Amino acid sequence: MTSEVVTCASCGTKNRVPVVSSGHPRCAACHVDLPWLVDAGDDDFASAVDTKPLVLVDLWAPWCGPCRMVAPTVEKLSREFAGRLKVVKVNVDESPQVAQRYRAQSIPMLLFMRDGEVVNTVIGAQSEHVMRTLTQQYV
């Protein structure tokens, strides 16, 4: 199981945030909810999206300009909705099975998932306002 290191915005403590977990990450020192932004691929995607909070899956590729435009907004949403939203980034070039499963023919493609099921799909770069509104609708 891999993990990301996230610095707590509240106290500055560095915390390991796992890709897979049944709860949601909190700072080990001050117990504030941490943003949950992880990378997943074909091997660990199913377990990465199998969690209680709302999951926002970002299907992207490094060569995709609109994907790079959306990335800062997706990261901002993970911080803004810490404890209520998990963001899973999937590089479609490295994870063709996930891309094929969700028919990602155009990227960026954002999937809002609850209990492992897609509740909404957004294709193409969207404004921060649109993405925040959609996220608020589902959290």
**Which residues does the annotation mark as catalytic?**
64, 67
Sign of CA dihedral 43, 66, 139, 105: negative
Give dist(CA 128, CA 77) in Å, integer. Answer: 9
| Helix, strand, coil percent values for the chain (each to nearest 5) | 25, 30, 40
- Strands 54-60 and 85-91, how do they pair? parallel
Residue 112, strand partner residues: 56, 120
DSSP notation for 116-131 = TEEEEEEES---HHHH
